[in-house]
Structure 1
């Protein structure tokens, strides 16, 4: 079988082996050594076409390739290919085809499923797109996660978490409830001080090898910044650990309505975090496709600092730079337009002024400064109110109009 795979690759074909984790079992393990020999021959033959993909359990496959130095396929990687999810433009095609027209529905779907086609198909199979905006979030949880026949009731535990144990699982669970925490807070949350070195090693693997955790540094900082923040990289995994799994466990002992009452506040908090992430991705997508009114030269995933004086704290959701035209755009994201209160906007202004006056940012003082308030939906009254105060107002309908 291994020789046949080698011949097919040399003939210019691409071979894909699915469910590859079964080859880690004792009865099939010898196959890995034979395949290793063929892979080494193929790597040395400089073939112009053809190749081999192995697909299967995230942990089992990645361990074989990246961690277990005794595994036959350890280090047998020749390429890293970044496969991203559907863009917002692609999702709009789905939403429009199914008459899902409310931005609140778009945000809820994106919070759980981001741009993974399979999940949107599962939602279609459950007739979720027939539900109106008022009951949409409740029905998504009920139909997709809480019923015994729900298609995603065990999805994350099966796909992502089944083979993760101990500290790795503890870190993901802690981050689900403490998104954006720092290194010290994360290490303290999952173990004793004497285990710090061991826990840091687990964290490094989840960030670098598995890419299940994103490490975000402050704008203009280097990779060694002690100010880094950590997030679960995948929307579905974050939503599962923070909302869906606790709700599913509660549903085993409580009526659905009681379960939903407990889940709603957690979902609202999660959607607020997801909305920030969505706005950042939309800025990048629009710039990449030549849409909208801002050409990015650098996209920053928010800005924060770590001052000794807490009163000088700076926290900005979005910092976008157009260095060619000397423009800088600052954004404040709120899940509800009502949350852009006079107090929150004044705080936003204070943080931007602190950013501009900082020594390393003073070269931007002569740049065109844009202040943007983002929410999923804005009324005409909201827009008029914010525009009169000198702000740009943007909602998801504005981005939908661009596509």
Structure 2
């Protein structure tokens, strides 16, 4: 698959590369597994020689042997053998005083399993050499919680050492459309929704579908729910290392959230256990869920819901993990029937998320949320506000355009509108048909001030 997008990220990385010609740079890059960090880094640097070190789970001496071969091939320097990475890193920092180059260390968090003292050693070596160094050091990791701990915990040696931080996110909707257009220009709105629903813009998942030429809803679901599918074990592969021994409780919570039990009380009553600590870690350490409040709710509001951030993980917990017994005995036809049965309702939820994301990516609003009252009723799918221009967009999302009723929407929003008397209000309907347009078209709009 060709390299897509990442224009802003490339610009930032190349600016950092240019600065490294004058002073040492340390960039910490994080992003979920499969999002495309390594591909981005391999395409980013054009002005310096690039060393790429992948930290696999193997003996430290063997890793150093691999890295010395890379140094000799890329920099033409020979240093002999090393028994520890700290020794090798010290030599590279000294070399960077006379030679400007880029060093990428991928899956950096794996050093925790190889050499616990390395982070302290790197801190001392960096501090002792950085003033004269011209290294462009990029430290990349995919275990979000570990990378955050290493670089953002004030008790850790490398705290405060990074000169730049980058969080790599999945592709935006415009890029998904470009990929589909390049590979299957006759795609329908239902195909685009399925493509978004399954991949969420994660580069590796997109690549898997491109390889299989799965660009229609039917082919996408078949690619996911077929014997030997790459996707069947993917949720475990991505998360078990994050969660460790306690993964069963985390998985149970995520499965309930994926099945629409999104309030803390509902989850606790189902599992019969307190989950506050788990929810806090899932949100703040692992970056897997997000606590959302209804529009206008105050910071301390208890009227919260939890949502899984990642589209694929949402689908995986809703259909693959939930029906894992059928998956394990190879009865994927059964799972496929469940998906087909629930698809219209489930994809309707994803459609709401699609349009909220599309409005956020348009850069036309300062906030994009949804709304529900304390009883969990009177729901409004989209409320987008532009406080600078004093505009408020209130939207209803339905797969079927005929089911959109803006008069009912106006009634639902009456109490909200009373608090925005000096704003221009627009009521807008969004349907499956509107996925194809650059900007969703209203079913009917009503504006007043």
Fold shared by both chains (TM-score > 0.5): yes
Indicate the residue corresponding to 1:268 in structure 2. 344
Please give the alpha-carbon distance, in whole angstroms, between the structure 2 residues aligned to 1:264 and 1:42. Answer: 60
Q: Once the 2 structures are TM-superposed, how far is the Cα of residue 49 of structure 1 from its aligned partner?
A: 6.0
> For residues 320 and 401 of structure 1, do their structure 2 counterparts lie closer, same or farther at Cα, with a shift above 3 Å needed?
closer
1:328 aligns with 2:377: no
CA contact under 8 A between 1:9 and 1:52: conserved in structure 2?
no
Please give the alpha-carbon distance, in whole angstroms, between the structure 2 residues aligned to 1:147 and 1:317. Answer: 37
Indicate the residue corresponding to 2:264 in structure 1. 183
Residues 259-306 of structure 1: CA distance to partner in whole angstroms, max 9, x if unpaired?
3212223333332221111101111222x3xxxxxx42x223112232
Larger helix proportion, structure 1 or 2? 1
Please give the alpha-carbon distance, in whole angstroms, between the structure 2 residues aligned to 1:398 and 1:29. Answer: 52
TM-score by length of 2: 0.67
Tell me the number of residue pairs that the alignment of Structure 1 and Structure 2 aligns: 349
State the SS of the aligned residue for 1:277.
helix
CA RMSD of aligned residues (A): 3.3
1:157 aligns with 2:157: no
CA contact under 8 A between 1:318 and 1:332: conserved in structure 2?
yes
| Residue number among 414, 417, 428 corresponding to 1:356 in the alignment | 417
> For residues 68 and 260 of structure 1, do their structure 2 counterparts lie closer, same or farther at Cα, with a shift above 3 Å needed?
farther
State the SS of the aligned residue for 2:396.
strand
> For residues 226 and 251 of structure 1, do their structure 2 counterparts lie closer, same or farther at Cα, with a shift above 3 Å needed?
closer
Please give the alpha-carbon distance, in whole angstroms, between the structure 1 residues aligned to 2:239 and 2:129. Answer: 31
CA contact under 8 A between 2:190 and 2:432: conserved in structure 1?
yes
Please give the alpha-carbon distance, in whole angstroms, between the structure 2 residues aligned to 1:22 and 1:85. Answer: 23
- Segments of structure 1 that go 5 or more residues without pairing to the other structure are 289-294, 378-394
| Residue number among 358, 372, 378 corresponding to 1:304 in the alignment | 372
Please give the alpha-carbon distance, in whole angstroms, between the structure 2 residues aligned to 1:167 and 1:75. Answer: 33
Please give the alpha-carbon distance, in whole angstroms, between the structure 2 residues aligned to 1:46 and 1:176. Answer: 52
Please give the alpha-carbon distance, in whole angstroms, between the structure 2 residues aligned to 1:203 and 1:323. Answer: 31
State the SS of the aligned residue for 2:413.
helix
1:209 aligns with 2:285: yes
| Residue number among 251, 255, 261 corresponding to 1:173 in the alignment | 255
CA contact under 8 A between 1:112 and 1:239: conserved in structure 2?
yes
1:370 aligns with 2:426: yes
| Residue number among 279, 288, 299 corresponding to 2:355 in the alignment | 279
Indicate the residue corresponding to 1:244 in structure 2. 320
> For residues 204 and 40 of structure 1, do their structure 2 counterparts lie closer, same or farther at Cα, with a shift above 3 Å needed?
farther
State the SS of the aligned residue for 2:121.
helix
Please give the alpha-carbon distance, in whole angstroms, between the structure 1 residues aligned to 2:168 and 2:431. Answer: 28
Please give the alpha-carbon distance, in whole angstroms, between the structure 2 residues aligned to 1:265 and 1:175. Answer: 19
- Segments of structure 2 that go 5 or more residues without pairing to the other structure are 1-84, 442-449
CA contact under 8 A between 2:391 and 2:423: conserved in structure 1?
yes
State the SS of the aligned residue for 2:392.
strand
Q: Once the 2 structures are TM-superposed, how far is the Cα of residue 321 of structure 1 from its aligned partner?
A: 2.1
Residues 304-343 of structure 1: CA distance to partner in whole angstroms, max 9, x if unpaired?
2326xx8xx5421111223444332110011233443x5x
